[in-house]
Amino acid sequence: SDVSDFDEEWEELVQQMQQILVAFLLPWLGRWLGRKFSFWTWSRFVEWYYYPRITIAK
């Protein structure tokens, strides 16, 4: 009986941890990765578009 109670509580704890992961951690991780990726792509675009053109004046 004690073992089955422990198993039920363990399963409930695992389910709660999964809900926390899905509800909070995954959106936070997605937002963080999205910001990193957008910063990286924007810096690449700016470097490509505004690359200083070096001309040698004679």
**Closest to 7 measured CA to CA, from 15, 28, 57:** 15
Q: What's the chain's length in residues? A: 58
Sign of the dihedral defined by the CA atoms of residues 25, 28, 31, 32, in that order: negative
State both tokens at 26.
């995954």
What is the chain's Cα-based Rg? 25
**pLDDT of 54 above 80:** no
Instruction: Express each pLDDT in 33-42 by its tens digit.
Output: 999 999 999 9
What is the pLDDT, as a whole number, of residue 58?
Answer: 64
Q: Which amino acid is at 31?
A: R
Percent of the chain scoring above 90 in pLDDT: 72
The domain limits of the chain are 1-57
**Confidence grade of residue 2 (pLDDT, cut at 50, 70, 90):** confident
List the single range of 12-16, 39-43, 49-53 with lowest mean pLDDT: 49-53
CA angle 32, 47, 27 (to 5 degrees): 10
What is the pLDDT, as a whole number, of residue 53?
Answer: 67
